[in-house]
Amino acid sequence: MAKRKAKASRVRSESSRRRSKAAKNSTQVMTYDDGEDELLEGDDDDAVISASEEDEGGSDDERKHRKLLEAISALGGKKRRKLAERSEASVQVSEFAVSAEGAGEKISLSDLLGAMDQTPSAVKSTKKQLQNLESCKDTLELPLSRQETEKIQRKVAFEKTSKDVSQWESIVKQNQRAEQLVFPLNQEPSGPKPVEHVVVGWKPRTPLEMEVFSLLHKNMQPINDPLLTPMEEASLKAMSLEEAKIRRAELQKIRALQSYYEAKAKRERKIKSKKYHKVLKKGKRKELLKEFEEMRNKDPAAALEELKKMELARMEERMSLKHQNSGKWAKSKAIMAKYDDEARKAMQQQLEMNKELTQKLALPPESEEEQEPEETEVVPDFANDAQAAADPANPWMMGKLSAEPAEKDCGGDDKESAVENTQNEEEREPEGDEEEENEEDVLLREFDEKRKSRRPDDDALAPPFQVDKEETEGEKKEEPVCVSSEDEHEGEVVSEFKSLFQKLLANGHESTVNKGTGQDAKESDAEEPALLDEGLSRVRSLEDVDELLGQGLVREHAEDVAEVKEKIPTTAEETKNERTDKRKKKKILDLNDVLTRDAKVISVPLAPTAIGEEEGEGDQRMLVQEAFAGDDVVADFLKDKKKRVEAGKPKVVDLTLPGWGEWGGVGLKPSRYKRRRFRIKVAPPPPRKDRNLPNVIISDARESSVAMHQVSQLPFSFEKPEQFECSIRTPTGHTWNTQRTVQKLTAPKVVTQLGSIIEPITRDSLDKSKAQTRGKKAPDIVLASAGAEGQGPRKGRRKAGENNARNLRNPRRRAIKRTK
């Protein structure tokens, strides 16, 4: 640095000198001649350096020259204006008043020393020294030539600058390695800065400011939210402690109670004893009755209202299908009803409920019923969902069918249930059992009728459908097995496909890589390949692009074919064997048989009952059937596969020649010996991968249509095929990744903003990067919330919100804050 400064000062002095010179010869202010100046400068320099040294030698010549000039001017006769010349006084006029006449003559050392000899006072030692000096004839070395000095100068200067420039290397590398560069570099985020940032950089200057700051500092005053100092906050906390304790105690109490009740209810609900429930119900009912009686006595209006309520409930029940066994639950039960008594019972209960509710209240009601408690106990909520369209296949919904099993199956059960019912009803209604049963029947019938009226076509449909069902049942039994196994196989096939595909890829790479490296070795000397294929055709539209691809196809196809031939069958054998073992265990049915067996044709009468849409579907199906009447896709597929299998089998090479060592002629076969000898059997190929997959053809051959899209050589910068595959395999799109991941994955390397000027990199960034490595210096003023410095505005905001919420909860504290 110091050197440079010195240089700068030298430059300055030089320039100042030059300025003075320019002032002198004022004729040349604007017109400027470099060459001349350079010359002048050189002279000047010489003058400066050597004036004192060699004036003696020059002065003689000068004098002569001057004389000559005078003579010439005298010859001309004209008086010429004498040029103003700068002359040093010391050269012309001697200090010691001696004429400068002999000044030009050279004085040798011996001349001077002559006097020395004569003076006796001179010290002997000095004399000796002088003599030595005289005898020594060596001259000083010449200074280096200008070229050479410059060369050295240049070298030094270049080394220095290259060292200076190398400082940038770190930041350049950093930028090259950066995941993302956002230009312009070192942008400051737009928008207002958070207070912390502003304050941190600010220094108190005036005494007042100093004082204020010291006060704030002492109190650890935070800058933004929360506005309370830690001290204040602590005191606030202390104040609210008692309150908090009380409140907590209350809450604890409430929670304990709640949990206690919950536990109790749970326990009660879990009790399975029917008797207990019955008793419970009874008790409840009694209580209710009592209440009602009381009500009737006390205020009949209320009682009347109760009655009305009940009436309303009846009406609602009649309107709704709630207990008519049409819900999901009911349907599921209906399916089970055949085998499960419980289910049957539940259904019946439902119907009973319906009956009960829809019964007209002739008498002043003794039994006051609220359906909800019972319902919740017996039936889950979803059971009562109304359903618009019932499944026609559901026998329970077909009216008669539903009734039959219940009636037929077992009289005993029925009786039991009846007994139960009666037991139940005895308590609330003093009515006969038979009546009830009749009523039930009536209800059921009604129910059926209702159904029928809703679907007038059902009757016509029912019988054939039933038959169909029975017919198909036999098959159904078989099918599930088959389907499941097939499903399994499908899963396997998929996985197998994957592994196969990968292996294929890997193999392709290996073979090609080997080839590639060979080529690379050859081509490594050659240059980097061009980035562009430049041609004469223009690409203007998508069609052009496709055409372009077509051209490429033809070109690359040949190469690919060649590559395919090199491919070797993979090492998939072992894995396959393992897998087949596994499969043997799993497999029950021969899939080939299943597939090839003729499908049983079932004649299903067209269901006219179906709704319009379904009809349309059926039509379409018919249409499709008609259209593909002649096609037997499955058979075609199997044929195709067979053909492939045949083609893949090794052929016996027959090398027998007729007549050698035997009789030859028409109709003569070569002998057995010969056949055995000359017919060469080729070793069987590894078993086909798809031999156990009847509906799959797996081909090991590399298909050229796919190869066209595949990478044939390991690209540069990848060392192994696996790396490359991995890079391809990981998806980047939003279909497979979360939004944040996609953003991260697809972030461009260089981001520039439209309309923002990008300045060249500056020294600041260099200094900054250096500072980062060194570690940050602490700011002069550290305030209480300096910890929150790094927080973004969002975080701050959230914090503020929290604070507000807390304040709302605690009004007193808010008041304090306001007073502050």
Site for other proteins in 244-303 (CB under 8 A): 247-248, 251
Q: CA quadruple 613, 618, 622, 627: dihedral positive or negative?
A: positive
Residue 37 CB, shortest distance to other proteins, in Å, is 7
Between CA 806 and CA 819 the distance in angstroms is 17
Does position 760 interact with other proteins (CB under 8 A)? The reply is: yes
Question: 């009660």: which residue's tokens?
Answer: 268
Does position 554 interact with other proteins (CB under 8 A)? The reply is: no
Interface residue with other proteins among 175, 358, 367, 803 (CB under 8 A) is 175
Does position 549 interact with other proteins (CB under 8 A)? The reply is: yes
- Residue 573 tokens read as 């054998």
The one segment of 61-69, 99-107, 192-200, 528-536 that binds other proteins by CB under 8 A: 528-536
The one segment of 154-162, 304-312, 647-655, 670-678 that binds other proteins by CB under 8 A: 154-162
- Of 317, 298, 308, the closest CA to residue 375 belongs to 317
Does position 154 interact with other proteins (CB under 8 A)? The reply is: yes
Residue 486 CB, shortest distance to other proteins, in Å, is 19
- Residue 278 tokens read as 């019955």
- Of 689, 497, 489, 684, the closest CA to residue 590 belongs to 489
The one segment of 196-204, 478-486, 639-647, 737-745 that binds other proteins by CB under 8 A: 737-745
Does position 511 interact with other proteins (CB under 8 A)? The reply is: no
Does position 15 interact with other proteins (CB under 8 A)? The reply is: yes
Q: How far apart are the first and last CA of the chain?
A: 57
3-state secondary structure 378-439: HCCHHHHCCCCCCCCCCHHHHCHHHHHHHHHCCHHHHHHHHHHHHHHHHHHCCCCHHHHHHH
Residue 46 CB, shortest distance to other proteins, in Å, is 17
Tell me how far apart the 2 most distant CA atoms of the chain are, in Å.
176
Residue 485 CB, shortest distance to other proteins, in Å, is 21
Between CA 728 and CA 499 the distance in angstroms is 16
The one segment of 166-174, 253-261, 299-307, 628-636 that binds other proteins by CB under 8 A: 166-174
> Looking at beta carbons only, is 538 or 774 nearer to other proteins?
538
Between CA 362 and CA 474 the distance in angstroms is 55
CA distances from 523 to 26, 243, 520 (A): 69, 85, 5
The one segment of 210-218, 388-396, 470-478, 724-732 that binds other proteins by CB under 8 A: 724-732
Does position 177 interact with other proteins (CB under 8 A)? The reply is: no
**Count of CB atoms situated within 10 Å of the CB of 396:** 24
The one segment of 94-102, 359-367, 603-611, 749-757 that binds other proteins by CB under 8 A: 749-757
Give the single-character DSSP code of 78.
S
Interface residue with other proteins among 92, 186, 743, 804 (CB under 8 A) is 743
Between CA 286 and CA 364 the distance in angstroms is 16
> Looking at beta carbons only, is 238 or 530 nearer to other proteins?
530
> Looking at beta carbons only, is 398 or 707 nearer to other proteins?
707
Region 60-79 residues binding other proteins, contact defined as CB under 8 A: none
Residue 10 CB, shortest distance to other proteins, in Å, is 9
Does position 2 interact with other proteins (CB under 8 A)? The reply is: no
Backbone angles phi, psi at 751, to 5 degrees: -115, 125
Does position 144 interact with other proteins (CB under 8 A)? The reply is: no
Between CA 409 and CA 338 the distance in angstroms is 8
Between CA 362 and CA 375 the distance in angstroms is 24
- Residue 178 tokens read as 């950066």
**What is the total residue count of the chain?**
820
Between CA 815 and CA 626 the distance in angstroms is 85
The one segment of 147-155, 273-281, 467-475, 628-636 that binds other proteins by CB under 8 A: 147-155
CB-based contacts of 450-454 (< 8 A; 24+ apart in sequence): 451/397, 451/398, 451/399, 452/399
From the number of C-beta atoms within 10 Å of its C-beta (0-12, 13-18, 19+), residue 580 rates as: middle
Region 350-379 residues binding other proteins, contact defined as CB under 8 A: none
Residue 30 CB, shortest distance to other proteins, in Å, is 6
Between CA 336 and CA 269 the distance in angstroms is 25
CB-based contacts of 124-130 (< 8 A; 24+ apart in sequence): none
* Per-residue x/- track, 555-594, other proteins (CB under 8 A): -x--------------------------------------
Interface residue with other proteins among 273, 735, 773, 819 (CB under 8 A) is 735
Interface residue with other proteins among 179, 527, 613, 626 (CB under 8 A) is 527
Residue 670 CB, shortest distance to other proteins, in Å, is 52
Residue 246 CB, shortest distance to other proteins, in Å, is 12
Interface residue with other proteins among 2, 29, 319, 568 (CB under 8 A) is 29
Between CA 293 and CA 364 the distance in angstroms is 11
Region 84-103 residues binding other proteins, contact defined as CB under 8 A: none
Does position 186 interact with other proteins (CB under 8 A)? The reply is: no
Does position 37 interact with other proteins (CB under 8 A)? The reply is: yes
CA distances from 352 to 77, 307, 349, 595 (A): 159, 21, 5, 52
Number of residues that bind other proteins (CB under 8 A): 99
> Looking at beta carbons only, is 84 or 750 nearer to other proteins?
750
CA distances from 751 to 184, 187, 473 (A): 9, 12, 68
Does position 715 interact with other proteins (CB under 8 A)? The reply is: yes
- Residue 350 tokens read as 């439902």
> Looking at beta carbons only, is 18 or 587 nearer to other proteins?
18
- Of 381, 403, 401, the closest CA to residue 391 belongs to 401
CA distances from 125 to 108, 110, 119, 138, 435 (A): 21, 17, 14, 22, 164
The one segment of 214-222, 612-620, 652-660, 758-766 that binds other proteins by CB under 8 A: 758-766
Backbone angles phi, psi at 182, to 5 degrees: -105, 115
> Looking at beta carbons only, is 244 or 265 nearer to other proteins?
244
* Count of CA atoms in the C-beta half-sphere (13 A) of 287: 7
Residue 775 CB, shortest distance to other proteins, in Å, is 25
Does position 33 interact with other proteins (CB under 8 A)? The reply is: yes
Does position 502 interact with other proteins (CB under 8 A)? The reply is: no
> Looking at beta carbons only, is 188 or 543 nearer to other proteins?
543
Interface residue with other proteins among 675, 734, 770, 812 (CB under 8 A) is 734
Residue 143 CB, shortest distance to other proteins, in Å, is 16
Interface residue with other proteins among 132, 162, 705, 773 (CB under 8 A) is 162
Does position 639 interact with other proteins (CB under 8 A)? The reply is: no
